[in-house]
Amino acid sequence: MSVLIVGSVALDSVESPAGSVKEALGGAATYASIAARTLHDDVAIVGVVGDDFPEEHVRLLEQRGVNLTGLERAPGRTFRWAGRYHEDTSQRDTLDTQLNVFAHFSPRIPPELRAAELLFLANIDPELQLSVLDQVDDPQMVFCDTMNFWIQGKRNKVLAVLARSDVAFLNDEEARMLTGQPSLLRAASAVQALGPSHVIIKKGPHGAELHSPEGVFYCPAFPVPNAADPTGAGDAFAGGVIGHLAEAGEDSDEEMRRAVVVGTVVASYCVEGFSMSGLLRAGPVTVRERYEELQRMSAIPEP
Amino acid sequence: MSVLIVGSVALDSVESPAGSVKEALGGAATYASIAARTLHDDVAIVGVVGDDFPEEHVRLLEQRGVNLTGLERAPGRTFRWAGRYHEDTSQRDTLDTQLNVFAHFSPRIPPELRAAELLFLANIDPELQLSVLDQVDDPQMVFCDTMNFWIQGKRNKVLAVLARSDVAFLNDEEARMLTGQPSLLRAASAVQALGPSHVIIKKGPHGAELHSPEGVFYCPAFPVPNAADPTGAGDAFAGGVIGHLAEAGEDSDEEMRRAVVVGTVVASYCVEGFSMSGLLRAGPVTVRERYEELQRMSAIPEP
């Protein structure tokens, strides 16, 4: 199934206890597309970069086989983000955000990508997410992500996106903020009532929860004792989920569970290196190894 | 197998968004013994209460079949604790702690309890835990718990207890504080190096981790959308783990995993009511139902 991912492409400067990188390849669409491409071959992105965007990053995405037809080059500087992770890498401070060309981004979906079967609206302004939904033909599944900033500032638009989505990715804090429910079980039900049949709550080092019409599935995080850089882990997770479903070609509850486990494993590779270096170590064999390891680590024996 | 639990018996005053209770039955030994008694019939406690301890609480423990031979009555007032839970019930403020008779508690193990096969040293002064270890014959398994206060104030004594324990219960914060390792995987290994072959890390709403020589097992928390009072959940969890192992009579990795799931389920009942009211609803049939539900909620399909 064809996958279209709309979101940010960025240059990230990251400091963590494990080291640092400056202006490395980042952005939600980048992480998600490389993750999805690990599992499935038909993955395209729509995004924008400035005229300063290094050619080597374009080559990396091309070599990884990501369809860049929809990657717009605008005059100006590429979106930049800088952050610093604490000793406990689940905590971070944002040091700098420069939207640059991303401030005026208005996604244009090239005609050949409008028939995409799986559409991922990564975290961008929900008005742009709605404009993408208006441009595509009729995707079989729409996946959306968002963030606190939009939930607080453009709540009605976020609700409009959710109403047109099948699968919502939210972290625990976003799910609580969106619904006012401290219980994640209640928060997920409340999000489902807004539209998406499936809600996937990302809990960082505590794993992920899949809430589907068939019930709830708890997946632990794959343990990474040497987390170098958690940037993009949530996007890599989403890309892994979507890449698996595109490859499987179905969305049964069992397949959705597999997808969440695959996303978890792909995210574990992501956090092991700065920028794309960890993610690029994920491949069909390594993903399957960690999948089976996670299966063993969470197997409850018969009573 | 005979179970001996040494720890506090208290009168708790608790406020939470779900309501409040004043001077209700509480204490680590109380929660753990009632939880263990749900699964196994040979459970005794050693602890102290004041001469103001209500007779109805003694009757409740007796009716539940907890052996009270080791419950000392001292002149003075019973240990009291008061706390208030936030809207997010994983957060609480301690409002008052009155040690009262507990301040001079020096556990004396009655001769008929010294042959206990499973010994649980609930959270008390590690010097008292060591004195208990000196009084008992030769338990097959020693389980210990502790808290931040002792890790900071009596670290060497805590280490001495761990060196003589087989299973350590710690919450995530305590495991990190004890070892200086932000990664729970590394923290657990570091605790294992101090003595216990098994380390069980309690993560509240995020479940529990069992670290054993055979590897790691992740168990999600049983979802409780209506948590009324989390007081004692960690002690009920430990009691459930120990009660299951006493009933099973073995400590294979599979049995340890079952025990962690049973502890998780028993703890879920505990948080559903104030004081012992939730815990008293747990029985063999209800525990098995939630066990099987948790099994379904965490089942990873074959890849």
Residue extents of the structural domains in chain B: 3-298
Give the mean model confidence (pLDDT) for residues A159-168: 98
The residue among A226 and B78 whose pLDDT is bigger is B78
Residue B88: band (very low, low, confident or very high) from pLDDT cuts 50, 70, 90 = confident
Substitution target from A16, A218, A289 for chain B, most B beta carbons within 10 A = A218
Q: Look at residue B226 in the predicted model and tell me its pLDDT.
A: 84
CA distance to A40, A197, A200, per residue, from A2 (Å): 9, 21, 21
Residue B221: band (very low, low, confident or very high) from pLDDT cuts 50, 70, 90 = very high
CA angle B250, B254, B260 (to 5 degrees): 90
Residue B141: band (very low, low, confident or very high) from pLDDT cuts 50, 70, 90 = very high
Q: Look at residue A90 in the predicted model and tell me its pLDDT.
A: 81
Say how far apart CA A250 and CA A245 lie, in whole Å: 6
The minimal CB distance from A300 to the residues B205, B215, B298 is found for B298
Q: Look at residue A88 in the predicted model and tell me its pLDDT.
A: 81
Q: Look at residue B188 in the predicted model and tell me its pLDDT.
A: 98
Distance from CA of B286 to the nearest CA of A (A): 13
pLDDT for residue A91 is more than 90: no
Give the mean model confidence (pLDDT) for residues B279-302: 97
DSSP state of A136: S
Distance from CA of A144 to the nearest CA of B (A): 24
Considering the domain delimited by B3-298, tell me its CATH architecture.
3-Layer(aba) Sandwich (3.40)
Q: By percentage, how much of chain A surpasses pLDDT 90?
A: 97
Distance from CA of B34 to the nearest CA of A (A): 21
Residue A272: band (very low, low, confident or very high) from pLDDT cuts 50, 70, 90 = very high
The minimal CB distance from B300 to the residues A89, A185, A295 is found for A295
Contact by Cβ (8 Å): A70, A38: no
Substitution target from B253, B285, B300, B302 for chain A, most A beta carbons within 10 A = B300
Give the mean model confidence (pLDDT) for residues A210-234: 95
Distance from CA of B257 to the nearest CA of A (A): 7
CB contacts < 8 A (A, B): 97
Q: What is the pLDDT of residues B92-138, one digit of tens each?
A: 999 999 999 999 999 999 999 999 999 999 999 999 999 999 999 99
Q: What is the pLDDT of residues A9-37, one digit of tens each?
A: 999 999 999 999 999 999 999 999 999 99
Mean pLDDT, all residues of chain B: 96
Say how far apart CA B252 and CA B242 lie, in whole Å: 13
pLDDT for residue B89 is more than 90: no
pLDDT for residue A283 is more than 90: yes
Q: Which of A51, A43, A45 is nearest to A30 (CA)?
A: A45
Length of chain A: 303
Hey, which residues does A145 pair with through a beta bridge? none
pLDDT for residue B87 is more than 90: no
